[in-house]
Structure 1
Amino acid sequence: MRKWVEPVIPLLLLLAACNAHAQAGPVFSATGYAADAYGAQENYPLPVPGKARTQKEFVGYYTHFANVRPVDKIAKGTGPTSPLKRADSELPLSYPYDSHIRTIGSYLDRNPVTALLIARDDTILYEHYRYGRKDNDPFMSQSMAKTIVGMLVGIAVFEGAIRSIDDHADAYVPELANTAYGETPIRDLLHMSSGVAYHEDGMPGDDRDKLGRDLLNPKGVGAIAGVKRFNVREREPGTHFNYASAETEVLGLVLSHAVHMSVAQYASERIWQKMGMESNASWGKDPTGQDITYCCVSATLRDWTRLGLMMAHDGMWNGQQVVPRQWLLDATTVSSPTSFLAPGHAKTYMGYGYQVWILPGDRRVFALAGMDGQRIIVDPRSKLVLVQTAVWTNDQDPGMLEVLALWNALVEQYG
């Protein structure tokens, strides 16, 4: 009979294992909040073509968007990847929420978050993946893509391809001549203050839903015909904020016409390659070949983090000024606390800049936000960045607000 002998682990290997566990990730989990409801037993399946997406298909859809929809490649550069350091130990954080003291771990256990990364300056403090997602998976952004469009417009202005943001859209897109959106200044499209009648609340049947059918359906009419459907102006431009995905779609048309290339190619050359991103990204495109600029950029979590850190550094990354500094400052600052774009005026809590949300408070803090819980929150003063990808199935879910409580505690304790 063979005698069992306890294996002897060399001390150095044991210490190395302990140190690896103590570092700030990446940490992977095969499960997540309500994993079976999100398709764990079926290995997180993809949507069935021609049918509405079910809850079990959300996880697969958000990380395999390119297998579901046609996309344009956002190519990374051929040079070295810009490095991100790792903290020696994982970030401990607790925060008050819903009459309880919560932790990051309990946040992930109680919410449908697919991945969460917190970084400061150039150092990762926390990096976790759930529902079997990996760090090389691309996470689709929904409306976080809008902020990329806003930055690309700023680059095009700096380069002279767009002469002025006071120009009307039809100066660059003649197909929009004699339409409400065509006669809107680019500045007001950036601020989502065109005054064009458009209703978007994230519920089935709203105008974003109609625009989505024009752009995401293989038989859809595409961006130009899609935005032309909204052709009634209710207010003077530049007087009232109204969140409207169609306005970003018009900006994408202006951009592609002005720079004479696809928005994805422009993003590749002006952002992805300059920043030394570690992975290729992609941008969804409509049936006419136009990139769908109101949404649909897919990128890895660490590359989303690099994007947020570049913004935290006022457009500087990898030794280069990627986005003009003054543009980024203007994009993320409200001119006056009484402006219709200020927090408490644009929305009850948030304000709005150039395709980016502005948080209330004395310090400049802003956020990229997409439906179903996609978030990047940036504090330039402390260089703290939080990146979250998620699969909430309802934008009215009160649990989506908890990340702000987590964020506020993060800035208070580490900012």
Structure 2
Amino acid sequence: MRKIVGLALALALGAGAAGAQVSLDPASPAPIASILGWSPERQASGYRDIEHVFKTHTIKRGKTVHPLPVAAKQIDPTFTYDGKTWTIDAYMKAYRVSGLLVLKDGKIVLEKYGLGRKPTDRWTSFSVAKSVTSTLVGAAIQDGKIKSINDPVTTYIPELKGSAYEGVTVRQMLMMSSGVKWNENYTDPKSDVALAGGTVAEPGVNPMVSYLRKLPRAHEPGTTFNYNTGETDLVGVLVSKAVGEPLAQYASEKIWRPYGMDEDGIWMTDPGGQERGGTGISMTLRDYARLGLFIEGGGVANGKRIVPPWWVAQATAREIDNGTPAPGGYGYFWWIRPNGAYEAVGIFGQSVTTFPADRLIIVQNAAWPAPTGKALSAARNAMIEGIRKAIVSGS
């Protein structure tokens, strides 16, 4: 029987290694863990203005914008949750949703904002960034910079040779199954997530690489799912080393410019100046929707294939059991839902959920009062299913 880290805990801890980014004000450091305690007012302002809190790199957009036409018929569904009938407006107010956007067949059928947010405002992704990092792995394979998903990670990060990562493949990293021991418990100040990557311990070596290469092995690689945000940062390092340029620049070249995002993106960096592979991308609500469309379309932008033909199907399929109800699971930094959908998920209510059979994408940005929780997730799932039923029924 595999030892599984529960989904709720995994999502709750999805913010990333606690100190692995840099405050803009050295006299008043603001580690990522502090976000867990932000007041509602601070959330509403800080989540859309993260580049004025932490050091970031810009993901530059191009000259053209991918159109998101507004459908002639808009939806305004209701749904039932906790014994009550909810409107979308009531749901957004109760669950502090800053943006909700629904695409059907590539057209907007619902778009609403809250918490003072405007359509041009970005919103931080938390762990939705992991799915972007995964996509950049696919792009690097298509470009021939990563030769195979089954290559050892040490091929691209030689500093890991001789560590517990010896023999671990790129694919196993994307499945959160390296087998390396990692504790992602934010309530424990001595956990790995609290200690990893906060300072440059070895000049010339990424701080997360320095920390992770000292950890022991707990399981045989590829056998056990263990949610590990530090390791997703490591995949970001791997991509940067493979392609020879910063992640933000590569994301601009492979997604933002060719697909036509409407605004520049923002990507939080660690103390070594490396973008965080596991967290910290900010984009507009419509650009979250475009990210969903890009993946739904197989990773093709402006007629050019960005990832290999097989990539999206594998990345968004159940590659490993992660403790969610069958046939759910985990792909390559994508969560697989039991009802045929896949999604990118971040704490405090961020999600991009795609039902490929229905050509339906539902994007939510929020400032939940807690990183996650059964009731919060249940309400979001009820909202998603309510929207899906309205779309499928044509009501």
TM-score by length of 2: 0.84
Give the deviation of 1:71 after TM superposition.
0.8
Alignment coverage as a number of residue pairs? 356
CA distance in 1, matches of 2:260, 2:102: 19
Q: Quick check: 1:148 aligned with 2:132? A: yes
Distance apart, 1:250 and its partner CA: 1.5
Contact kept, 8 Å, 2:62 with 2:260, in 1: the verdict is yes
Aligned to 1:319: 303
- Pairing partner for 2:334 from 356, 379, 384: 356
Q: d(CA) in 2 for partners of 1:308 and 1:204?
A: 35
The corresponding residue for 1:35 is none
- Give secondary structure in 1 for the equivalent of 2:348: helix
Would you say the 8 A contact 1:281–1:297 is kept in 2?
Answer: yes
Is 1:374 equivalent to 2:350 in the alignment?
yes
Q: What letter is aligned with 2:163?
A: T
Kindly provide the CA deviation profile for residues 294-345 of structure 1, in whole angstroms up to 9, marking residues without a partner as x.
101111111111011122222234433333331000111126xxx5358437
Per-residue displacement from partner, 1:61-102 (whole Å, max 9, x unpaired)? 211111111111111112x21111012343121112111121
What are the superposed Cα offsets for residues 221-245 of structure 1, whole Å, 9 maximum, x if unpaired? 733223335x111110011111111
Pairs within 5 Å for 1:167-186: 167-186=151-170
* Aligned counterpart for 2:74 among listed residues 87, 90, 110: 90
SS at match of 1:127: strand
- 1:92/1:150 CA distance change after superposition, 3 Å: same
Q: Of residues 222, 225, 231 in structure 1, which corresponds to 2:210? A: 225
SS of residue in 1 equivalent to 2:310: helix
The AA in structure 2 aligned to 1:344 is P
In structure 2, C-alpha distance between the alignment counterparts of 1:179 and 1:173, rounded to whole Å = 11
Query: Which residue of structure 1 lines up, in the alignment, with residue 382 of structure 2?
Result: 405
Which residue type is aligned with residue 162 of structure 1?
Answer: I
391-400 or 264-273: bigger deviation: 391-400
- Say which of 170, 174, 184 aligns to 1:190: 174
In structure 2, C-alpha distance between the alignment counterparts of 1:182 and 1:72, rounded to whole Å: 31
Counterpart amino acid of residue 340 in structure 1? D
Q: Name the structure 2 match of 1:49.
A: 28
The one-letter amino acid of 1:380's match is: P
Work out whether residues 114 and 391 of structure 1, in 8 Å CA contact, stay in contact via their aligned partners in 2: yes
Structure 2 counterpart of 1:244, from 203, 228, 236: 228
Once the two structures are superposed, the pairs formed by residues 387-398 of structure 1 within 5 Å of their partners are: 387-397=363-373, 398=375
Deviations 1:98-149 (A, max 9, x none): 1112121111121111111111122111111111111111111011000011
Displacement of 1:201: 4.8
Unpaired runs of at least 5, structure 2: 1-23
Residue in 1 that maps onto 2:85:
101
Q: Which residue identity does 2:48 align to in structure 1?
A: T
Instruction: Name the structure 1 match of 2:325.
Output: 344
Does the 8 Å contact 1:116/1:388 carry over to 2? yes
CA contact (8 A) 1:376 1:387 kept: yes
Q: Which has the higher contact order (CA 8 A, sep 6+)?
A: 2
Partner of residue 268, structure 2: 284
| Superposition map of 1:191-206 within 5 A | 191-201=175-185, 203=187, 205=189, 206=191
Go from structure 1 to structure 2 and tell me whether the alpha carbon gap of 1:171 and 1:212 turns closer, same or farther (over 3 Å shift).
closer
Matched residue SS, 2:101? strand
CA distance in 2, matches of 1:273, 1:176: 33
SS at match of 1:410: helix
Counterpart of 1:209? 194
Quick one: distance in 1 between partners of 2:29 and 2:74?
Answer: 43
The answer to whether the 8 A contact 1:77-1:276 is kept is: yes
- Give the whole-Å Cα distance in 2 for the aligned partners of 1:221 and 1:329: 32
For the pair shown, which has the larger CA radius of gyration, 1 or 2? Answer: 1
Q: Please, which of 49, 72, 80 is the counterpart of residue 57 of structure 2?
A: 72
2:243 maps to 259
**Identity across aligned pairs (percent)?**
33
Q: Give the 3 Å change call, closer, same or farther, for CA 285–110 of structure 1 in structure 2.
A: same
Give the CA deviation at 1:163: 1.1
**Alignment partner, residue 10 of structure 2:** none
> Aligned in 2, Cα 1:302/1:396: closer, same or farther, shift over 3 Å?
closer
Answer yes or no: is the 8 Å Cα contact 2:127–2:278 preserved in 1: yes
- Structure 1 residues 68 and 268, CA gap change in structure 2 (3 angstroms): same
CA distance in 2, matches of 1:199, 1:375: 24
Tell me which amino acid in the other structure corresponds to 1:248: T
Post-superposition offset of 1:203: 4.3
- Bigger shift: residues 53-62 or 160-169: 53-62
**Which letter does structure 2 place at the counterpart of 1:306?**
R
2:143 pairs with 1:162: no
Q: Please give the secondary structure, in 1, of the residue aligned with 2:54.
A: coil
Residues of 2 paired with 1:110 and 1:377: CA distance?
Answer: 21
- Could you give the per-residue CA deviations for residues 329-381 of structure 1, whole angstroms, max 9, x where no partner exists? 0111126xxx5358437xxx9410001000003x3x10100111111101111
Gaps (5+ residues) in structure 1?
1-45
Change in 2 beyond 3 A, CA 1:372/1:258:
same
For residues 137 and 62 of structure 1, the distance between their equivalents in structure 2, rounded to whole angstroms, comes to 10
TM-score where L is the length of structure 1: 0.80
Distance 1:85 1:154 in 2: 28
Partners of 2:117 and 2:210 lie apart in 1 by 37
Deviations 1:141-177 (A, max 9, x none): 0110000111110111122111112221111111222
